Chains A and B, each alone.
Chain A
């Protein structure tokens, strides 16, 4: 029976190549787009799922109450205390990533990326299989455990266990003994390692660098991620409560640190607010992208439904015959459902192929590698097949329930008028498609306007002709560098600060309010040198700028912005004492951070010691000739360090690159949705025109003009576009206002956005419809009527 159905379906497609082609192409395009998006989404969601004990693995999060920041790094000594005092913790170990570690291979030191300095229990926590020594493998400081990949690299044809390696660590050469080889950790993990060494090495490095505390015992040396493996029935809340006692013991009554635990499953996607968290994903992106994928799927599914109903009404005769031959409505339904599923499955390989072709372009758009991860392959296959089947089933159910109910006699007497029946539902489906398109287009326009706005809005300091030079390790030489470049005539001025503007991170402190000592005001800090305020063009409202002439500015003078004057509720602020300094001036509020956040209360202090970034204000258009000169000066000041610089324009583009990418991705998806929807419309028009050939012929015989015939087609479709673009406005405003709420400084959603979306949709729809209706209107009526 199935074979019989399949044969008819395939032969029918063969005879209706155009319809089948449009249908298959539209569906496979849409599936390809959503496959790519889903690949991204699945990969993101699959992070950290590769570990057997994943539900029992936690890491400790460190909330610093004073500085108002949350970090994923904790003191080394914390692990020891947890081990002693937390009964439901089975294993606990600190880990730290070693920088600047290289291994000698053929007399060349090869840098290794992820070198984890830790203790032996790490293998138990993450359940990493190791060959070689099993107990206390990192007990000896000269032990090293290599990943299988690294072992292959350094010992391509021999057993590495027991062999020695010469490595450069903490600036000296040391001999390590390979104690074991571990299976590579899945790539979709936030915990990554190329090799493990003893925690002694990081402790040694810390103690070299920071002299005034012992990294092994200090409760203030936050450089370690602390990983826990807890009992099956332990829960996070109990652990968090236990931390309270521990904090008291370690820090006394002062509530500086606040430890909590975070499950491994939250580490990748729910660490937005956690600093030093390692690799992070973005849940917001996942939501946006999966919604886009769903929208595109809807467009494609509707297309598929529209075209299959249209095409299969052409098959009503066959269905009538089958019924007189003893087919029940049920078997007809089954047949059509089968066919629709078969067609959808035919699309699957094409869609996969298109997705494969499109993948490199998508990688550029997403700005990430879209890996096909082995452990996810089953998920990909299941989701892709289920999605395809789903579309096939839904459209099959719709067409079959419609066709199987048709009356046999009316079919066989040719009195069924295919194009006309169900046309209202088709109309609705097309309108929904167009709504989705208009929504995507106006959203793109809004996102793009916000991006443009963010780049162009005056932040309260010079928005262009500023060059930032990263001082890096040469920050002590900033004054010399500054003076050397100031002498160039094209340099208007130069001044340094601890960060570039807009500032990406924040340094917040609670400061006592001089008016009311019991209240603390949260305020952000910015350290600048004597020239920075002038170089950046930050406006002074009251008082004076920092000046060397007063001699003591570096110790006890501050500038405040308007917001902090407000926060401290100061009247006549200049000259007032705050902390242990004097307010010497008030600057106009400027955007310390990107436009995502509001202007914070700010306290500016002056010092030549903390110049990490040098801002150079140059004469417009002279950057080309100026750069080599500045670079030459840089080489004099910091001969061993590379010259890292960016203009303020480049920097802002970097900051808002997410918005730019998003607008690009949404616009590409809008394009696809329009393309797919117009495929459907094209097919539909073609079909309707074909079925109305007789009607058109009769109209012409009765004296209808070509224009009238064409315009009657256009009018109907124009109405559709008007309805769709109107209906698209509320959801667009809703979603986009939500999106814009990420910004403290944002554009208003303007009407032209919707007009433009309407115009684009109208243009494409009318062009699509025009061609065939025009051709039909030109038909010789004699021919049209004869073909009956």
Chain B
């Protein structure tokens, strides 16, 4: 599904080129739940941004379902964001001026889904995530865990094939973190491909593959045995 070959990302300062990513080769198959780990500044979020087409690699090739994604134009990127991928962020990034219902609805509006259908889809998700009662509240009135729940709902309402989560539990205390990870795992079991970035070893275990980054290089890439046995076949 995702294939990165020799991806570089660097910034040019006056006399110096600073590499964030250096020759990254990575392949993610459909149905995988990949966790990217590593110390601060290792380039975790940058990989995620490149995969999500929020950022362009400086060099290298990126194939998404065998399409050369490093070549696509700005307009197609918008299509990509609309149909293929959902984002979750550490800081939730809900629109403060919109309530829960409206926040979840937003991607559908950009996809041009009709009003009635939108209503049904949002109602469905609210129900599934058990937040029907909160639908008229604004982000500032919710706890962190609830906000992230809304953010996930918003990320998946367009039925994307790939979910990118940048430290989804970073701003949450453990109980809420646990809840979010369970939800992600469940989504993965239902067939969603997920790539997450986290610092937390325990949460990494929810996935089925761990990639450790250090100074822009892949140091380790291993499957989690138990998980592997259970889920690795899903995507194949």
A-B contacts, CB under 8 A, total: 63
Q: Is the CB of A12 within 8 A of B94?
A: no
Q: B96 interface residue, CB < 8 Å from A?
A: yes
Contacts of B154 in A (CB 8 A): 325
- Given known A1-B109, A7-B102, contact A328–B78 (CB-CB < 8 A): yes
Count of chain B residues with a beta carbon within 8 Å of a chain A beta carbon: 28
- Given known A4-B106, A326-B78, A326-B158, contact A15–B111 (CB-CB < 8 A): no
Contacts of A11 in B (CB 8 A): 97-98
Q: A15-B96, A325-B87, A408-B54 are in contact. List 10 more A-B contacts (CB 8 A).
A: A7-B98, A11-B98, A12-B97, A320-B93, A321-B95, A324-B87, A325-B106, A326-B78, A329-B74, A409-B54
Query: What CA separation (Å) do A325 and B88 show in the bound complex?
Result: 10
Query: What CA separation (Å) do A250 and B54 show in the bound complex?
Result: 91
Query: What CA separation (Å) do A321 and B155 show in the bound complex?
Result: 11
Query: What CA separation (Å) do A325 and B106 show in the bound complex?
Result: 7
Query: What CA separation (Å) do A329 and B94 show in the bound complex?
Result: 19
Contacts of B94 in A (CB 8 A): 321
Q: Is the CB of B89 within 8 A of A412?
A: yes
B52, B83, B106: the one contacting A322 at CB < 8 Å is B106
Query: What CA separation (Å) do A678 and B56 show in the bound complex?
Result: 43
Contacts of B75 in A (CB 8 A): 328
Q: A8 interface residue, CB < 8 Å from B?
A: yes
Contacts of A321 in B (CB 8 A): 93-95
Q: A778 interface residue, CB < 8 Å from B?
A: no
Query: What CA separation (Å) do A321 and B82 show in the bound complex?
Result: 12
Q: A220 interface residue, CB < 8 Å from B?
A: no
The 9 closest A-B pairs by CB, nearest first: A326-B82, A11-B97, A326-B110, A328-B78, A325-B107, A326-B81, A8-B97, A324-B87, A321-B93
Q: Is the CB of B78 within 8 A of A327?
A: yes
Interface code A318-341, partner B: CB below 8 Å = 1, 0 otherwise? Answer: 101111111111010000000000
Q: Which of A1-33 contact B (CB under 8 A)?
A: 1, 4, 7-8, 11-12, 15
Q: What would 14 A/B residue contacts be, using CB atoms closer than 8 Å?
A: A7-B98, A320-B93, A323-B81, A324-B52, A324-B81, A324-B87, A325-B110, A325-B154, A326-B110, A327-B78, A329-B78, A331-B110, A412-B89, A412-B93
Q: A83 interface residue, CB < 8 Å from B?
A: no
Query: What CA separation (Å) do A318 and B94 show in the bound complex?
Result: 8
Q: Which of B93-119 contact A (CB under 8 A)?
A: 93-98, 102, 105-107, 109-111
Instruction: With a 10 A CB-CB cut-off, give which of A4, A7, A321, A326 has the most chain B CB atoms.
Output: A326
Query: What CA separation (Å) do A153 and B144 show in the bound complex?
Result: 78
Contacts of A588 in B (CB 8 A): none
Query: What CA separation (Å) do A323 and B98 show in the bound complex?
Result: 16
Q: B5 interface residue, CB < 8 Å from A?
A: no
Q: Shortest beta-carbon distance, B87 to chain A, in Å?
A: 5
Query: What CA separation (Å) do A433 and B54 show in the bound complex?
Result: 39
Least CB separation from A8: chain B residue: B97
Q: A593 interface residue, CB < 8 Å from B?
A: no
Q: Shortest beta-carbon distance, A42 to chain B, in Å?
A: 40
Q: Is the CB of A15 within 8 A of B95?
A: no
Contacts of A317 in B (CB 8 A): 93
Least CB separation from A321: chain B residue: B93
Query: What CA separation (Å) do A322 and B154 show in the bound complex?
Result: 11
Contacts of A1 in B (CB 8 A): 109
Query: What CA separation (Å) do A321 and B54 show in the bound complex?
Result: 11
Interface code B134-176, partner A: CB below 8 Å = 1, 0 otherwise? Answer: 0000000000000000000010001000000000000000000
What residues of chain A have their CB less than 8 Å away from a CB belonging to chain B? 1, 4, 7-8, 11-12, 15, 317-318, 320-329, 331, 408-409, 412
B82, B97, B110: the one contacting A7 at CB < 8 Å is B97
Q: Shortest beta-carbon distance, A97 to chain B, in Å?
A: 66
Q: B55 interface residue, CB < 8 Å from A?
A: yes
Query: What CA separation (Å) do A326 and B79 show in the bound complex?
Result: 7
Query: What CA separation (Å) do A322 and B98 show in the bound complex?
Result: 12
Q: Is the CB of A326 within 8 A of B74?
A: no
Least CB separation from A14: chain B residue: B97
Q: Is the CB of B106 within 8 A of A324?
A: no
Instruction: With a 10 A CB-CB cut-off, give which of B55, B74, B87, B109 has the most chain A CB atoms.
Output: B109
Q: Is the CB of A327 within 8 A of B110?
A: yes
B49, B95, B98: the one contacting A409 at CB < 8 Å is B49
Q: Shortest beta-carbon distance, A576 to chain B, in Å?
A: 92
Contacts of B158 in A (CB 8 A): 326
Least CB separation from B112: chain A residue: A1
Query: What CA separation (Å) do A299 and B235 show in the bound complex?
Result: 62
A7, A324, A326, A329: the one contacting B111 at CB < 8 Å is A326
Contacts of B74 in A (CB 8 A): 329
Least CB separation from B79: chain A residue: A326
Q: Shortest beta-carbon distance, A233 to chain B, in Å?
A: 57
Least CB separation from B160: chain A residue: A326
Q: Shortest beta-carbon distance, B74 to chain A, in Å?
A: 7
Least CB separation from B151: chain A residue: A321
Query: What CA separation (Å) do A412 and B94 show in the bound complex?
Result: 11
Query: What CA separation (Å) do A409 and B89 show in the bound complex?
Result: 12
Least CB separation from A9: chain B residue: B97
Query: What CA separation (Å) do A326 and B106 show in the bound complex?
Result: 9
Q: Shortest beta-carbon distance, A11 to chain B, in Å?
A: 4
Q: Is the CB of A324 within 8 A of B54?
A: yes
Q: Shortest beta-carbon distance, A416 to chain B, in Å?
A: 14
Q: Is the CB of A318 within 8 A of B81?
A: no
Q: Shortest beta-carbon distance, B155 to chain A, in Å?
A: 8
Q: Is the CB of A322 within 8 A of B95?
A: yes
Query: What CA separation (Å) do A329 and B77 show in the bound complex?
Result: 11
Q: Is the CB of B95 within 8 A of A326?
A: no
Interface code B196-216, partner A: CB below 8 Å = 1, 0 otherwise? Answer: 000000000000000000000
Least CB separation from B84: chain A residue: A326
